[in-house]
């Protein structure tokens, strides 16, 4: 076996790789005592070229890791003991293979030196002598397509305090830089790459960057060019035109255009719901029961209506669940290779291990109405909790997208029955967008609460986010490029850069009164928000960014003159940003010339 591997490896010239440790929140702020801190191992992406003599690349692929086999197919999945999950995809046109895997075993990661990929026929497609690199200061934070899959939007972030130089950048094997790109300390750059031919959902994308001599790589699977505003409805509300048109219209007025879908919606088949989607302007997220049907339950004509295939909700009960969820993801990959997969989580210490099993990751953490949550029952509740859990999920899943949950008003879901107040609802919704998530998952949008003030305030805010929806979909968080005069206890301020401008989201977090202790005593109260002013927000503009103007979206309308701003050197500075108590959030748009 070793002699064969050496012979194969000798005909390939390179491999590229990237590695990240698992991110997790401060355990003193978010107490998850049932789980140890995830301090060992991490996730690695490898990119390998096809062997010169490789003529076959048929899915499913199998791996040999230091000679030990990993079978990556449903239902025959088999993984080495130290591997939590692994994925392999190939691009026959570019003759590239992407391998991603996660391991919590330091010794395994340090000792991984031989990698071989075989296709369904047993033929070796790629082989290399590899190593898992150290985390690099320059990373790919996000990739999206635009213009009907004809352009690739690539986000690079330098997290270091010194500049780094990208000398080469390859997108799907094609050189994408005309000249070396210097990333200043903390700089976030967005690049738009024209693709030789349009891609489609389910196909592999790869990015390879040579940074100061380090050969880095990332990959993933294309998803729809979609930023869903999704709702998980109450079981008996069936908010679809075929089952309950009134409820459908109520949620549409809120801004919802995607829904979780069960096999039957008040007696109406899910196929009927899917077939009516295009005419009524919505998409669906079919539940896990659909995977138990025949592989051709959904036909190709149904695919445009399916936002993604649902794997699991809060399936991250323990680290041992990774293989089960990977098996379910492989089942959908086998049955519907053209569709992306989605999985939800709820434990921040586990999200680093689970992130990457599916194409899209989710997370829920609710901080109001005495809703249950994964942290200790008597630990302090923070209004920032929703944002923090969604943001750490983005950190672990990047460069792949996150669709994050926001709590909504529900008449009988939680201890408090009167619905979220305006501040609770708007801060929860805004947290999804500010965390850099690429889809909104509302839980549960109960139509019986459509008349409460929180619902109306949420609808107005969603109209503003809808106005910058495409920029949010193709954009990404600029991370260290933004600084605020505030601490995290008073407000959250985030800048999201897209090819056409920067969305700036500022959320009032100056709230108190709520307590899990009073919830446990069944005398819980709502969060009370207080007016707050952020004195100064500074955004370091990337090289080449020429600012046109800064406006604000209010109830979906673009308004000028409501924001105090100036350009100081290469920085955009916002001052005296006043935040309210009903609509806690302001949404600014810094347009690029």
The structure tokens listed for 449 are: 């609460």
Query: Which residue, 400, 428, 264, 409, is CA-closest to 343?
Result: 400
464 is a domain residue:
no
User: Is the CB of residue 317 less than 8 Å from the CB of residue 286?
Assistant: no
The structure tokens listed for 229 are: 């505003």
Of 221, 239, 266, the last residue of a domain is 221
CATH of the domain at 159: 2.60.40.1890
Phi/psi of residue 103, nearest 5 degrees: -140, 140
User: Is the CB of residue 217 less than 8 Å from the CB of residue 398?
Assistant: no
Asked if the model's pLDDT at residue 357 lies above 50, the reply is yes
Asked if the model's pLDDT at residue 352 lies above 60, the reply is yes
Asked if the model's pLDDT at residue 483 lies above 90, the reply is yes
Do 192 and 85 lie in one domain? The reply is no
87 is a domain residue:
yes
Do 123 and 66 lie in one domain? The reply is yes
* Reported pTM: 0.96
185 is a domain residue:
yes
Enumerate residues 6+ apart whose C-beta is below 8 A from 306. Answer: 274, 283, 284, 285, 286, 298, 339
Number of structural domains found in the chain: 2
10 is a domain residue:
yes
Q: List, as one string, the DSSP characters of 190-203.
A: EEEEE-SS---TT-
- pLDDT-based confidence at residue 487 (cuts at 50, 70, 90): confident
Do 87 and 147 lie in one domain? The reply is no
User: Quick check: helix, strand or coil at residue 182?
Assistant: strand
- pLDDT-based confidence at residue 296 (cuts at 50, 70, 90): confident
Do 99 and 166 lie in one domain? The reply is no
- pLDDT value at residue 12: 46
Of 129, 147, 164, the last residue of a domain is 129
- pLDDT value at residue 4: 47
- pLDDT value at residue 136: 98
Asked if the model's pLDDT at residue 320 lies above 50, the reply is yes
Q: Write the CA distances from 99 to 44, 69, 112, integer angstroms.
A: 8, 14, 13
Of 221, 237, 255, the last residue of a domain is 221
Do 95 and 210 lie in one domain? The reply is no
Per-residue buried b or exposed e for 100-139, using 16+ beta carbons within 10 Å of the residue's own CB: bbbbbbeebbeebebbbbbbeeeebbbbbebbbeeebbbb
Mean pLDDT score across all residues of the chain: 94
Do 68 and 173 lie in one domain? The reply is no
Per-residue pLDDT tens for 492-547? 999 999 999 999 999 999 999 898 887 877 776 899 999 999 999 999 999 999 99
Please state, in angstroms and rounded to a whole number, the distance separating the CA atoms of residues 1 and 11.
16
Phi/psi of residue 207, nearest 5 degrees: -130, 130
Per-residue pLDDT tens for 5-19? 444 444 446 899 999
CA dihedral 94, 96, 101, 107 (to 10 degrees): -150
When pLDDT is averaged across residues 237-262 and rounded to a whole number, the result is 96
What percent of the chain is modeled with pLDDT above 90? Answer: 86
User: Quick check: helix, strand or coil at residue 215?
Assistant: strand
Please state, in angstroms and rounded to a whole number, the distance separating the CA atoms of residues 388 and 365.
9
199 is a domain residue:
yes
Sign of CA dihedral 474, 48, 166, 218: positive
Asked if the model's pLDDT at residue 480 lies above 90, the reply is no
- pLDDT-based confidence at residue 94 (cuts at 50, 70, 90): very high
Structural domain that includes position 32: 2-129
Do 104 and 13 lie in one domain? The reply is yes
When pLDDT is averaged across residues 396-415 and rounded to a whole number, the result is 93
- pLDDT value at residue 293: 83
Please state, in angstroms and rounded to a whole number, the distance separating the CA atoms of residues 370 and 413.
10
Break the chain down into helix, strand, coil percent, rounded to 5: 20, 35, 45
Please state, in angstroms and rounded to a whole number, the distance separating the CA atoms of residues 398 and 488.
23
492 is a domain residue:
no
Asked if the model's pLDDT at residue 95 lies above 70, the reply is yes
Query: Which residue, 88, 94, 92, is CA-closest to 117?
Result: 88
The structure tokens listed for 299 are: 């036909």
- pLDDT value at residue 10: 46
Do 17 and 114 lie in one domain? The reply is yes
Do 109 and 184 lie in one domain? The reply is no
319 is a domain residue:
no
Per-residue pLDDT tens for 192-238? 999 999 999 999 999 999 999 999 999 999 999 999 999 999 999 99
User: Is the CB of residue 547 less than 8 Å from the CB of residue 591?
Assistant: yes
Q: Quickly tell me which residue has 């007016």 as its tokens.
A: 531
563 is a domain residue:
no
Do 119 and 169 lie in one domain? The reply is no
Do 123 and 151 lie in one domain? The reply is no
Please state, in angstroms and rounded to a whole number, the distance separating the CA atoms of residues 277 and 230.
14
Please state, in angstroms and rounded to a whole number, the distance separating the CA atoms of residues 19 and 302.
37
User: Is the CB of residue 177 less than 8 Å from the CB of residue 209?
Assistant: no
- pLDDT value at residue 9: 47
User: Is the CB of residue 236 less than 8 Å from the CB of residue 265?
Assistant: no
- pLDDT value at residue 3: 44
CA 459-372-32 angle, to 5 degrees, is 120
- Give the start-end residues of each E strand in 414-531: 439-443, 476-477, 482-484, 491-498, 501-508, 511-512, 528-529
Please state, in angstroms and rounded to a whole number, the distance separating the CA atoms of residues 328 and 334.
10
Enumerate residues 6+ apart whose C-beta is below 8 A from 76. Answer: none
Do 54 and 157 lie in one domain? The reply is no
- pLDDT value at residue 13: 61
Query: Which residue, 395, 326, 479, 476, is CA-closest to 22?
Result: 395
């Amino acid at each position: 076996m070793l002699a064969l591997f050496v012979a194969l490896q000798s005909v390939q010239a390179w491999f590229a790789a990237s590695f990240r440790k698992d991110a997790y929140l401060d355990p003193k702020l978010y107490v998850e005592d049932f789980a140890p801190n995830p301090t060992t191992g991490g996730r690695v992406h490898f990119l390998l070229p096809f062997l010169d003599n490789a003529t076959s690349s048929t899915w499913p692929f199998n791996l040999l890791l230091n000679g030990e086999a990993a079978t990556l197919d449903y239902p025959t999945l088999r993984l080495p003991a130290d591997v939590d999950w692994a994925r392999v995809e190939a691009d026959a046109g570019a003759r590239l293979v992407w391998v991603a895997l996660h391991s919590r075993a330091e010794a395994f990661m340090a000792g991984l030196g031989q990698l071989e990929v075989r296709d369904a026929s047993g033929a070796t497609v790629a082989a290399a002598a590899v190593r898992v690199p150290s985390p690099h200061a320059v990373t790919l934070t996000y990739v999206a397509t635009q213009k009907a899959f004809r352009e690739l939007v690539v986000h690079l972030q330098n997290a270091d305090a010194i500049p780094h130089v990208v000398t080469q950048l390859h997108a799907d094997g094609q050189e994408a830089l005309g000249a070396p790109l210097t990333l200043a300390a903390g700089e976030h750059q967005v690049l738009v790459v024209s693709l030789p031919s349009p891609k489609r959902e389910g196909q592999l994308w790869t990015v390879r960057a040579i940074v100061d001599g380090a050969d880095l790589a990332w990959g993933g699977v294309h998803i729809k060019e979609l930023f869903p505003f999704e709702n998980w409805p109450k079981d008996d509300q069936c908010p679809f035109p075929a089952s309950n048109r009134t409820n459908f219209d109520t949620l549409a007025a809120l801004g919802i255009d995607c829904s979780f879908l069960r096999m039957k919606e008040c007696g109406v088949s899910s196929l009927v719901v899917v077939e009516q989607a295009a005419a009524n302007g919505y998409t669906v997220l079919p539940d896990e029961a659909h995977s138990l049907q025949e592989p051709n339950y959904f036909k190709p004509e149904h695919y445009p209506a399916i936002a993604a295939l649902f794997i699991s909700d809060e399936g991250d009960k323990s680290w041992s669940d990774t293989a089960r969820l990977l098996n379910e993801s492989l089942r959908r990959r086998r049955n519907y290779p053209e569709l992306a997969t989605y999985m939800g989580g709820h434990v921040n210490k586990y999200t680093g291990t689970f992130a990457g099993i599916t194409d899209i990751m989710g997370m829920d953490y609710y901080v109001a109405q005495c809703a249950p949550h994964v942290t200790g029952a008597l630990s302090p509740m923070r209004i920032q909790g929703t944002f923090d859990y969604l943001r750490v999920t983005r950190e672990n899943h990047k460069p792949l997208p996150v669709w994050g949950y926001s709590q909504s008003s529900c008449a009988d879901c939680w201890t408090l029955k009167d619905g979220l107040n305006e501040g609770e609802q708007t801060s929860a919704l805004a947290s999804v967008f500010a965390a850099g998530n690429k889809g909104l998952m509302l839980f549960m949008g109960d139509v019986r609460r459509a008349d409460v003030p929180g619902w109306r305030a949420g609808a107005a805010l969603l109209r503003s986010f809808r106005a910058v929806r495409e920029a949010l979909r193709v954009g990404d968080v600029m991370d260290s490029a933004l600084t605020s005069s505030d601490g995290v206890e008073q407000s959250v301020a985030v800048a999201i850069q897209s090819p056409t401008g920067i969305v700036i989201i500022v959320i009032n977090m100056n709230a108190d009164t709520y307590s899990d202790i009073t919830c446990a005593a069944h005398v819980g109260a709502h969060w009370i928000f207080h007016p707050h002013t952020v004195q100064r927000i500074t955004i370091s503009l990337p090289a080449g960014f020429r600012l046109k103007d800064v406006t604000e979206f209010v109830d979906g309308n673009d308004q000028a003159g409501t924001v105090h701003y100036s350009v100081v050197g290469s920085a955009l500075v916002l001052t005296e940003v006043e935040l309210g108590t009903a609509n806690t959030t302001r949404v600014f748009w810094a347009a690029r010339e």
